[in-house]
Structure 1
Amino acid sequence: MICGITKISLDIYRKPEYFYSGFFIMKNVDYIIVGDGYAGLFFAHQLLKNNKSFVIFSEGRKSASQVSAGIINPVVLKKFTTFWKAQEQIDFLKSSLKEIENYTGKNYLIEAPIHRIFHDENEQKLWLKKSENEELNHFLDKNFDRLEVVKNDFQTGKVNQSARLDVNGFFMGLFGFLEKKGHLLREKFIYSEVSTENSAYKDFAFKNILFCEGMGVKGNPFFSDIPVNPNKGHHIKVKLSKDIPENITIKKKHFLFPVNDELYFYGGTYDREQLHHHIDDSAVAQLTEGLSAFYPYDFEIDHVNFGFRPTVKDRRPIIGRHSDYRNVYVFNGLGARGILNGCYFSKSLYDFIEHQILLPEEVSLGRFK
């Protein structure tokens, strides 16, 4: 034994991913990722593609991402408008999911287009008018459909290129792969253990550290002041007495689609006021009323879930570098479009860190200064 280090330990720290510091064996990683939602996992995909070493800290609690609907939608269905970089985000997500399939063995994209139930003839006319718009003509189908089972007296409009993510499969598949490869640590991250001077956390030495914690960022001493606000969303899982078609997603006030052979997802609500950590009866009542408005048969609520979306006033993510620490980064504020935002802007962040390519001003942390 030499200085309290066994021969086996010495063999370990001769490997390039380890080094000896005082009486500790430190493991070198290119990145530490704190957070296991869409932001953290899609950024991890960028690191896997580029052969970077990393570790993700996951508390094991279900994040807002993990209880999300998984809707992939290029259209704002209240006013029939689209949003910044919608087509680019859709295209990038589909290519990224094919890349992820290469190592998980499964593509988690569910081809189930959204059918928006029209409230009246005026909405039909507005849809057709908007479908002539250059930004929307690839998304708003001009041929209306009439669905069976549900009430849709004024028919429905189909959103082309819309789909769903198999949320449970996505997280289970990626967590399983990352854990098998030694990238996933199921433990709480302790901020006080970070040494910014030495770029170290416990027994890890890192080149960069990235915080992707959703509303957990409010307890983060590095980024607690970023302007993200909680938006509480509820959804219900229900048993329907009469099944709806499996290959579509129905939207009126909220989304309805099958989860498995027995249960359907219906949700979700938006609430910026009732932010306590338990179920709101008023939200459940809102969902029950919303589903009853177009589903005329009996249904049974199996269970209720809720989560807190991290939202930003200008509805765009917050990405950037800490003003004092040059290797400390944040990726947050994905909001209701967490899948599209998390996937697309993970590449922007990676290019910013690794290739010094400036972030788009619209999502940069610097826009708030």
Structure 2
Amino acid sequence: MICGITKISLDIYRKPEYFYSGFFIMENVDYIIVGDGYAGLFFAHQLIRNNKSFRMFSEGKKSASQVSAGVINPVVLKKFTTFWKAQEQIDFLQKSLKEIEEYTGENYLINSPIHRIFHDENEQKLWLKKSDNVELTDFLDKNFDHLEVVKNEFHSGKVNQSARLDVNGFFMGLFDFLKNNGHLINEKFNYSEINTSDSIYKNFKFKNILFCEGMGVQENPFFSDIPVIPNKGHNMKVRLSQSIPENITIKKKHFLFPVNDELYFYGGTYDREQLHRHIDDSAVEQLTKGLSEFYPYDFEISEVNFGFRPTVKDRRPIVGRHFEHQNFYVFNGLGARGILNGCYFSKSLYDFIEENIPLQEEVSLERFK
């Protein structure tokens, strides 16, 4: 045992199994994963630690996951509330990242707690009141801080157990690992080439196939009807003329934290209306105004990114089995909490497929039947 978790052997890969089908050499795999965001990578981790053979199909484009802030936050910072299974998700993420470190050699967890700047005294009082709530006492620190450089007349509250994921490092590290071990296929998945009756895709004979494509699911003929709603989010990389503390994440309207020695991340917005695939000037204006409210010095915008979060009306992920094709599965609707939802429910889905352990009703695809 290492750090309370089962050590993962690096010698865990079975040799691929091949067989002839007509004039083609077919390869047996336990799983095909379509999609390369948080859902796909955290499910791939479940397969790695359980010695399952798989191939992941990735277009090589930056997904919404890859341009996300990577903030790990157990508190809804607008109303100072928490959410379903917040503590369980935080605990499971920490355990999983330690397991991932065993085979990538990197720890992608950044200890950078969130400091929420209060707008006024009423927010201070509300924070203190909520901190006595049994669900929030472990998350809302009662000792207020005065932050350097930025405007925070009413001080800030620290969110305990909050942190950040090194998003760029996480994706680069896992993609390199998957590529080096023959799991990653960099090409667009073609739905028309699936033989559903024989469970064959091109030269792969698969036991199960998992679709975790985010908003790309709208083009998926098997799961295009799942009720995911696109939520467009913008963020900026900025150069600050005066540096802020490096070991914290500052939040007022949006999140601000250092990316490297030169750039800071600031974002992101939420928009369900302007869904075109280019940068919205109004979003950039919103971010610029939001940063200027508490950062009183000059800053320069270096780049602007956006992505489409797959959200669900009831704020729960969508996990489950196709109603007709019994070895076709979907993992989607992670929303703004893609890291926590993707990590935690990847295990639920794996247990459902491999151990026939029922999914929780709150996340099951069956709730939309």
TM-score by shorter chain over 0.5: yes
Q: Counterpart in 2 of 1:172?
A: 172
In 2, the alpha carbon distance for the partners of 1:112 and 1:16 equals 42
> Which residue does 1:130 correspond to in 2?
130
Structure 2 partner of 1:293? 293
Partner of 2:310: 310
**1:16 Cα deviation after fit:** 6.2
What corresponds to 1:267 in structure 2?
267
* 1:338 counterpart residue number: 338
What's the RMSD between the two structures over aligned residues? 0.6
SS state at 2:158 partner: strand
Q: Which runs of 5+ in 2 are unaligned?
A: 1-14
> Counterpart of 1:25?
25
Residue type of the alignment partner of 2:308: F
Distance 1:17 1:285, change over 3 A: same
1:60 matched to which residue of 2? 60
State the alpha-carbon separation in 2 of the partners of residues 72 and 281 from structure 1.
28
In structure 1, stretches of 5+ residues that fail to align are 1-14
Identity of aligned residues (%): 83
Counterpart CA distance in 2 for 1:17 and 1:257 is 47
1:41 counterpart SS class: helix
Distance 1:339 1:330 in 2: 17
Provide the rounded CA distance (Å) in 1 between the counterparts of 2:16 and 2:180: 21
**CA deviation digits over 1:134-162, x for unaligned, max 9?**
00000000000000000000000000000
Q: Which amino acid aligns with 1:124?
A: Q
Tell me the distance in 1 between the aligned counterparts of 2:200 and 2:149.
58
Contact 2:29 / 2:205 at 8 angstroms: preserved in 1?
Answer: yes
The C-alpha deviation readout for 1:338-357, integer Å capped at 9, x for no partner, is 00000000000000000000
* 2:152 paired residue number: 152
- Output the TM-score relative to the length of structure 2: 0.96
Structure 1 stretches of 4+ moved >2 Å: none
Task: Give me the whole-angstrom Cα distance separating, in 2, the residues matched to 1:213 and 1:198.
Answer: 23
Q: Distance in 1 between matches of 2:191 and 2:34?
A: 10
Matched residue type, 1:38: Y
Q: Which amino acid aligns with 1:68?
A: S
Q: Does the residue aligned with 2:74 lie in a helix, a strand or coil?
A: coil
- How far the C-alpha of 1:22 sits from its partner, in A, is 1.1
- Residue 123 (structure 2) pairs with residue 161 (structure 1): no
CA distance in 2, matches of 1:18, 1:339: 35
C-alpha distance in 2 between matches for 1:204 and 1:284 = 45
Structure 2 residue aligned with 1:5: none
Q: Distance in 2 between matches of 1:283 and 1:196?
A: 43
Equivalent residue letter for 1:233: G
Report the Cα distance in structure 1 between the residues aligned to 2:19 and 2:231, rounded to whole angstroms.
44
Paired position in structure 1 for 2:322: 322
Evaluate the alpha carbon distance shift between residue 16 and residue 303 of structure 1 in structure 2; reply closer, same or farther with a 3 A threshold. Answer: closer
Q: Distance in 1 between matches of 2:19 and 2:64?
A: 37
Rounded to whole Å, the distance in 2 between the matches of 1:246 and 1:183 is 36
Q: Return the alpha-carbon distance in structure 1 between the equivalents of residues 88 and 335 of structure 2.
A: 18
Output the amino acid matched with 1:354.
E
Larger Rg: 1
- 2 CA distance for matches of 1:152 and 1:266? 17
- Inter-partner Cα distance in structure 2 for 1:30 and 1:18: 13
3-state SS of paired residue (2:366): helix
Output the CA distance in 2 between the equivalents of 1:204 and 1:276: 36
- What does residue 212 of structure 1 align with? 212
Contact 2:152 2:294 in 1 (8 A): yes
8 Å CA contact 2:232–2:308 kept in 1: the answer is yes
* Structure 1 Cα separation of the partners of residues 198 and 333 of structure 2: 29
- C-alpha offsets along residues 25-84 of structure 1, whole Å, 9 cap, x if unaligned? 000000000000000000000000000000000000000000000000000000000000
**Is the partner of 1:293 in helix, strand or coil?**
helix
Q: Write the distance in 2 (CA, Å) between the matches of 1:204 and 1:153.
A: 61
Give the Cα separation in 2 of the matches to 1:262 and 1:298.
Answer: 14
Equivalent residue for 1:8? none
Give, in angstroms, the shift of residue 20 of structure 1: 1.0
CA–CA separation in structure 1 for the residues paired with 2:16 and 2:119 = 63
How big is each residue's C-alpha offset from its partner over 1:122-143, in whole Å with a ceiling of 9 and x where there is no partner?
Answer: 0000000000000000000000
Measure the CA separation in 2 of the matches of 1:84 and 1:74.
10
